Each structure stands twice: as C-alpha cells, then as structure tokens.
Amino acid sequence: MDKPFLKRLRRIDPYVPGEQPQSDDIIKLNANENPYPPAPGVQQALRDFDASRLALYPDANGKALKTALANRFGLKPSQVFLGNGSDDVLALAFQSFFCSDEPVLYPDITYSFYPVWCDLFCIPYETVPLDENFCVNIRDYDRPNGGIVLPNPNAPTGRGVSLAFLEDLLQHNADCVVIIDEAYVDFGAQSAVPLIEKYENLLVVQTMSKSRSLAGLRIGYALGSETLIATLEAVKNSYNSYTMDAVALAAGEAAVADEAYFQETCCKVVATRERTADALRGLGFVVPPSLTNFLFVTHPDKNASDIFAALRERGIFIRYFKLPRIDNYLRITVGTDEQMDRLIDALRDLL
C-alpha cells in the first residue's frame, strides 16, 4: 500500500551508545563509567529528598547547583549553564553557536556524536586529520571555519593538549565559538577554564557522568562568558525549560560539595589506569598515553574485533569501533583494580 507520509519522515543515522547489559555478572568496561559510587553526600541527598516536591516543576534556572559550580570554578552563576548530561549541553551548543555557512571543524577521530548533531541540525562540517600518533596539529585549524569543537582529552584516543595549545587555538580563532569538550578532563588533562575570563568565545563543557560517578542521573554543564551562556539559555528555553529534574539538581549539588571524595576517586582511577597500561604493554599491546578513564590500545599481531568478541564471550564488555584508522583498536574503560586484574587474566589466556 502506498504511504506517502513515509517520504516526509526524517531519516538520520543516530549515535549508538555502548551496550548497557542488565546482568550483574559481567565486567562492564565499555561506556567509560566510573567503577566507584557517587559521593556519600549524594546518597544522603537522595535519601533526604522529599518526594512531595516532585508535584511541582523544578527550578528551571537551577540556581543552587549553578551557584555551587560557579564557586567551584571561580566564576559567576551567570557563567554556568546546566543540561541533561553533557550530550544535551553539546547538542544545544551546536544549535546555538554553529549557525554559519562555513564548516565546523573537529578531529577525524573523535566523539562520534559530533557528526550526528551536525547532520541533525544541518550544520556543515569538516574533519581535521589527527597525526599518526593521534595528536592534534594546531596549525590545521588556522583556516576559515564556522566554529571548532575539540575534546580535551580526546575520545576515544585518550590524548590531551596543553593550556598553551588551547590559548594558541583561541588566539587564531577569535571570530567563531570554540567548544572544548572536557568530559574526561578530571583524569589528568589541563582544563581551559582559566582562559574563560580572557576569551569570550570559549565554551567549556563538562559532565558529572565520569569523574563524579553520576552517569545515571544525567548532569552536564557549560562554563563560559555571560554572552555565550545567555544564548544557550535562550535556545534551551525555546524548546524545553525543564531539562534538569529536581532530583538531579539536589544530587548534583551534593556531588560538588564533596571535593575530597572527588579528588580521591579520580586518583584511584588514574592509579589503576597506569597499572593496567603497564600490564597491557607486558602482553604486547601498544598503549598510547591516556589522560582519561580509558585506554585505547592495539595489538600488532592480533585482530581487535576478535579480542573484543572473545572477551564478550567471557562476560567482559569493552568497546570496538569499526571506523577508518581505528578499526584495530580497542577502548577499555578503567574499572576497579579487581576488574582490571580479571581483564588482564582473560587477555593473557586469549593471547
């Protein structure tokens, strides 16, 4: 039967997140989640949350959480934007700032959501090749563009750039908005936040999903000049005023309040990452340095997709991307020491 309406439906290739298997007996190292629970204060805030408050809409402006984040970063609350995970913040930032006919630039190997948003919002883009060591060549970004988005550290490569590099990038790209996606910055990279005061066109996007163990709650935020933040607010309030629910706002505030727990958790992940990197090198893997909570590895004599499948059979989930240049690499999230020991044992067995 002819169904003309089918021709009018949007066709798009969506982003595919890492699998979320529901079984408890697997080792889940495929979505860069934190293996440790959120700060104890978060659990307390959830216990104390008065469910009767859910009858009312939440604070659309998220004032208390914005103030907590502003204090943490030495900014004003009007320089903080909140969203339902940093994916929400980034999607809004793409819509808010990438409005020219010039192409938006980002690395050829990077977070695979960027091309999906560009397609969804009809934003022209060009990818800029990383070098053979997955490093960014800054001079490649000295050309007309409609904006830049750069994850620092990059995903899935794990490699980071310095503050001097970021400042150079901003100096050469004053006419567009530069978005630095700092989803993994707390595991050892240099944040661009100190540059916000000097560069009105800089937007830094962070998340509580990784370093604050709150992937399930969906809290992301952007930090930047009042001009950029006001634009984001206007765009957000043009499609959904309440992206942040009341529970997330309360728990997010509690997470920011416990700086000591946050630091301690990040240090544990970094120590396990370095230990695991050494063990993987011992098994013959090539392991580029990582400033994130994952390792991006390849084995000169083994097929990455075979290793991925064999680990999956054993209940160990990691991530494999069948993409140009990286189709013999595996991305392994850093779990607990015990989880990583089991991974190394399984790999030793397989190899």
Positions touching ligand PMP (CB under 6 A) are 85-87, 111, 151, 155, 181, 183, 207, 209, 215, 220
Q: What is the DSSP letter of 205?
A: E
Give yes or no for a contact between 81 and 229, defined as CB atoms under 8 angstroms apart.
yes
Neighbours of 36 (CB within 10 A): 15
Non-local CB neighbours of 313 within 8 Å, separated by 6+ positions = none
**DSSP three-state, residue 283:** coil
Q: Which amino acid is at 270?
A: V
**In the complex, least distance from residue 185 CB atom to ligand PMP, rounded to whole angstroms:** 10
**In the complex, least distance from residue 207 CB atom to ligand PMP, rounded to whole angstroms:** 3
**In the complex, least distance from residue 7 CB atom to ligand PMP, rounded to whole angstroms:** 33
**In the complex, least distance from residue 18 CB atom to ligand PMP, rounded to whole angstroms:** 8
Nearer to ligand PMP, 185 or 228 (CB): 185
Give yes or no for a contact between 18 and 209, defined as CB atoms under 8 angstroms apart.
no
Q: CB under 8 Å, gap of 24 or more: what pairs does 188-194 form?
A: 188/153, 188/160, 188/270, 188/291, 188/292, 189/152, 189/153, 189/160, 189/161, 189/291, 189/292, 190/152, 190/160, 190/161, 190/162, 190/163, 190/166, 192/152, 192/163, 192/166, 193/73, 193/75, 193/223, 194/163
**In the complex, least distance from residue 292 CB atom to ligand PMP, rounded to whole angstroms:** 9
Secondary structure, 3-state, 297-335: EECCCCCHHHHHHHHHHCCEECECCCCCCCCCEEEEECC
Give yes or no for a contact between 204 and 182, defined as CB atoms under 8 angstroms apart.
yes
Nearer to ligand PMP, 154 or 225 (CB): 154
**In the complex, least distance from residue 295 CB atom to ligand PMP, rounded to whole angstroms:** 14
Nearer to ligand PMP, 135 or 350 (CB): 135
Nearer to ligand PMP, 110 or 231 (CB): 110
**In the complex, least distance from residue 213 CB atom to ligand PMP, rounded to whole angstroms:** 11
Nearer to ligand PMP, 177 or 279 (CB): 177
The structure tokens listed for 2 are 């002819």
Nearer to ligand PMP, 87 or 233 (CB): 87
The structure tokens listed for 11 are 């066709």
**In the complex, least distance from residue 214 CB atom to ligand PMP, rounded to whole angstroms:** 9
Q: Which amino acid is at 13?
A: D
**In the complex, least distance from residue 83 CB atom to ligand PMP, rounded to whole angstroms:** 8
Nearer to ligand PMP, 184 or 302 (CB): 184
Give yes or no for a contact between 33 and 333, defined as CB atoms under 8 angstroms apart.
yes
Nearer to ligand PMP, 35 or 85 (CB): 85
Nearer to ligand PMP, 176 or 219 (CB): 219
N- to C-terminal Cα distance for the chain?
A: 54
